[in-house]
Structure 1
Amino acid sequence: MSALPYGYHVRANGVRLHLLRYGGSGPTMLLLPGITSPAITWGFVAQRLARHYDVHVLDFRGRGLSQSGPGLDASLDAMAADVIALLEAQGWQDTWVLGHSMGARVAIRAAAQQAQRMGRLLLIDPPVTGPGRRSYPAPLSWYVDSIRLATQGTDADGLRAFSPTWTEEQLRLRAEWLHTCDEAAIVQAYNGFHQDDIHADLPRLRTPGLLMAAGRGGVILPEDLAEIARLAPGLVQCTADNAGHMIPWDDEEGFFALLGQYLGCSFDTV
């Protein structure tokens, strides 16, 4: 397993962004987590990715150790601008961008606006909600209630009801870091799931990539995959049949098997 070399900060798009860097050799990979997932919670994924990539995991604004505070713009456009500015500030070229859930939506918006520095998109179960579309399956209260509990101080047992299938280690890490997710930023991002039209960005994608759907997540349905295939034919599609929305948490080996098939490399633990 790769060690964590360091965490670091970058000033980009007028805010301070914090990242964790895993691994060394190979193409640069920027990992964009979901709505309430600070960078450290993706460490178990980043460690395995770091066998083949130089992996950097972003704390989105309003989360983890990145800039937060009252009045912070946590919209999809602001986060996409952060990613574009980060790539420019770091001088990264042909970057592989892996985004999960909200992070995948941010990757889509950023790539549609400015794809010059992106080499490949790896989109993991992005919400396909938007104006005039069905609601996101998880209610806002799920996020707000768990954040408030974590802010007061809780442990793995306190969060178990929110994520009953997670391991003790996963719950402990979430209990430690969830309080860093600013409630106002999370509410704005969640509302953006329903207000931002990500489908309008899909035909503008020129970056090839992978779209991985969760077979048991209820976020992307078969009819959504068919629509996306028409809008973005450059995305190869696959489905993690045995996983819910948090694919690596539910089926880590299945996740890496599918990813390895697309990337042409192995992430086996042996």
Structure 2
Amino acid sequence: MTRTVTLTALADLPPTGATSRWVEGEVGLHVLDYPGPAGSTLAPVVLVPGISMPAIGMDLVARDLCATRRVLVTDVRGRGLSQSGGGYAMTDYAQDLEGVIETLVPGEGAVLVGHSMGARIVTLVAARGRVAHGGVVAVDPPLSGPGRAPYLTTRAAFMGQVEQALRGTDADEVAASWPSWPRREQEIRARWLGSCDPEAIGATHDGFESEDFFSWWPQVPAPVAFVRGADSPVVPEEVMAEVEAANPHASVHVVPQAGHMVFWDNAQGADQVLSEALDAVDGA
């Protein structure tokens, strides 16, 4: 296991205004806690990032949401400041998230919002039904799995990006893989990608091919919203009939001019659609 977090990377945390929280379980987990406005009556949101995204990488989402409510963003095990160890199956991640909810927002009706891998995690937690929560928003979950089209980005591509980060990368090199991202997000990825455990990335990618989202998606109870990028190759239009038939409780929302990296492709549009999805869940 090789992971690095530099002092330069850690300097990204204080300007967010979030507080670092720690949750003990099978592994130690780090969570960024954005307080939100005093007196807010909206349920808190727990944000869960994608396969190679530490919590700080979702600051662009959290800083918009925390204008109206408390927001917690998880460093999924093996990423950011959370520990590595144990397994990296969806059930491992779900157990971690259940621990975060029970420790930091017990009984508060938190809405679980996940992007990509995070969308798989939050929907599995909801399907398991082991902790109370206020609903789920799944943003562009990988629909790959046994007998289905493979995940968009290859395992080798992810491992190559992590190797670059461990060697020492910069925003210009990140831009070669993610040219449309805002410069600040390219810089954050350059500083933080090295915090991701290669074993965690590889095992999770393997899970995208072996674990079937549709094996638990039908069991996700209302209220639930499903968000996709209009141009996402991970959730193409032609599979939406199956998505909707498998869980008719879910409201469906589409972010225009966005691919799989929804918030990074069209931040303004994604923020608006996420707000609509949260309204649908909050009002259910």
Query: Residue 46 of structure 1 corresponds to which residue in structure 2?
Result: 62
For residue 18 of structure 2, what is the aligned residue in structure 1?
A: 5
Deviation digits for residues 207-227 of structure 1 (CA, Å, limit 9, x no counterpart): 312111111220112232111
Report the Cα offset of residue 3 of structure 1: 5.1
1:76 and 2:116 matched: no
Secondary structure of the 2:134 match is strand
Cα distance between partner residues in 2 of 1:177 and 1:137:
22
Q: Quote the Cα distance in structure 2 between the aligned partners of 1:68 and 1:52.
A: 33
Unaligned runs of 5+ in 1: 266-270
Aligned partners of 2:57 and 2:188 also within 8 Å: yes
Q: Which secondary structure does the structure 1 equivalent of 2:88 belong to? A: coil
Output aligned runs, 1:56-135, within 5 Å.
Answer: 56-68=72-84, 72-93=86-107, 94-114=109-129, 116-135=131-150
1:1-270, aligned counterparts within 5 Å?
A: 4-12=17-25, 14-24=26-36, 25=40, 26-68=42-84, 72-93=86-107, 94-114=109-129, 116-264=131-279
How far apart are residue 142 of structure 1 and its match? 1.8
Identity of aligned residues (%): 33
Q: Which segment is superposed worse, 83-92 or 39-48? A: 83-92
Q: Which moved more, 1:95-104 or 1:19-28?
A: 19-28
Contact 2:43 2:134 in 1 (8 A): no
Q: Distance in 2 between matches of 1:232 and 1:22?
A: 32
For 2:137 and 2:96, locate their aligned partners in 1 and report how far apart those are by CA, in whole Å.
18
Moved over 6 A (4+): none
Task: Give the AA of the match of 1:9.
Answer: W
Superposition RMSD in Å:
1.6
Q: Deviations over 1:103-144 (max 9, x none)?
A: 000111111112541211111100011111111121112211
Q: CA–CA distance in 2 between the matches of 1:155 and 1:209?
A: 38
**Cα contact 2:23–2:99 (8 A) shared by 1:** no
8 A contact 2:102–2:131 mirrored in 1: no
Using the size of structure 2 for normalisation, the TM-score is: 0.88
For the residues of structure 2 that align with 1:123 and 1:106, how far apart are their CA atoms? 9
Secondary structure of the 1:160 match is helix
Partner Cα distance (1:124, 1:144) in 2: 23
Write 1 or 2 for the structure with the bigger share of strand. 1
Query: Residue in 2 aligned with 1:268?
Result: none
How far does the alpha carbon of each residue in 1:175-196 deviate from its partner, in whole angstroms, 9 at most, with x for none? 0000000001100001100100
Secondary structure of the residue aligned to 2:80 is coil
**Corresponding residue pairs, total:** 261
SS at match of 1:15: coil
Q: Where does residue 7 of structure 2 map in the other structure?
A: none
Q: Quick check: 2:32–2:72 contact (8 Å CA) kept in 1? A: yes
| TM-score, normalisation: structure 1 | 0.92
